[in-house]
Structure 1
Amino acid sequence: MSNRIERPWALMRHHAGWADVFHIESETPDSITGFYPDRETVGPPVNYSTRAVLARYSTLEAARAAREEAVAEWRKHDAAVRDAETKLREAEKLREDAWLTCLRDAAERS
């Protein structure tokens, strides 16, 4: 048995700041096949590139615990991200205002 299949639980990126627990049933050097055990409807197995795997774990509990720890770490940065987004919106407003002022000044000069 390879080291990869000994760690059949993976975290797969779902969206920014969140990963879904995925059970790997089979794999090749390029792809994995499995299912999401936490989803309400477990359909047929799905295939992904091995690049989709964020991390692997030996147990379901370890994957879930890692996901929760990572979410807490992500949340530690929420305030800094909100501050940066506010500064970005302010800078974009200044840019927009400067652009409009330039256009209006040019119109008055002509």
Structure 2
Amino acid sequence: MSQTIERPWALMRHHAGWADVFHIEKESADSVTGFYPDRETVGPPVNYSVRAVLARFPTLEAARAAREGAVAEWRKHDAAVREAEAKLREAEKAREDAWLTCLREAAAAH
């Protein structure tokens, strides 16, 4: 007898800012088994820890819509991230310059 999974569509982390739609065929307390319907070649079912599931949905359409909405939300922060990265590069350059200056001054003093 097969058990019906109430929310069989999941979003699984692919990389930062993107999630892949995954269809859960079987689940236990600590794992899910299924496949990625959007991949060109659907191979044998794969197993993941339940911790890999970012969110679950009752339909494929709901999962895809949530993913697209999340991507739009992620993109809202792109400019702030680029600005922070530029500031980080400047701070790292200042640290490197200070370190080299200290070493050179110490060498010159001896």
| TM-score bracket for this pair, using the shorter chain length | over 0.9
What is the match of residue 9 of structure 1? 9
SS for the counterpart of 1:108 is: helix
1:23-102 paired onto structure 2 within 5 Å: 23-102=23-102
TM-score (norm 2): 0.96
Q: Work out the number of aligned pairs and report it.
A: 108
1:10 Cα shift?
0.2
SS for the counterpart of 1:33 is: strand
What runs of 5+ residues in structure 2 fail to find an aligned partner? none
SS for the counterpart of 2:55 is: strand
TM-score (norm 1): 0.96
SS for the counterpart of 2:47 is: strand
Percent pairwise identity? 84
Deviating 4+ runs (over 2 angstroms): none
1:87 Cα shift?
0.1
What runs of 5+ residues in structure 1 fail to find an aligned partner? none
Cα distance in 2 for residues equivalent to 1:44 and 1:103? 58
Amino acid at match of 1:62: A
Cα distance in 1 for residues equivalent to 2:102 and 2:26? 61
Cα distance in 2 for residues equivalent to 1:105 and 1:50? 56
* 1:24-80 C-alpha deviation (Å, 9 max, x unpaired): 000000000000000001000000000000000000000000000000000000000
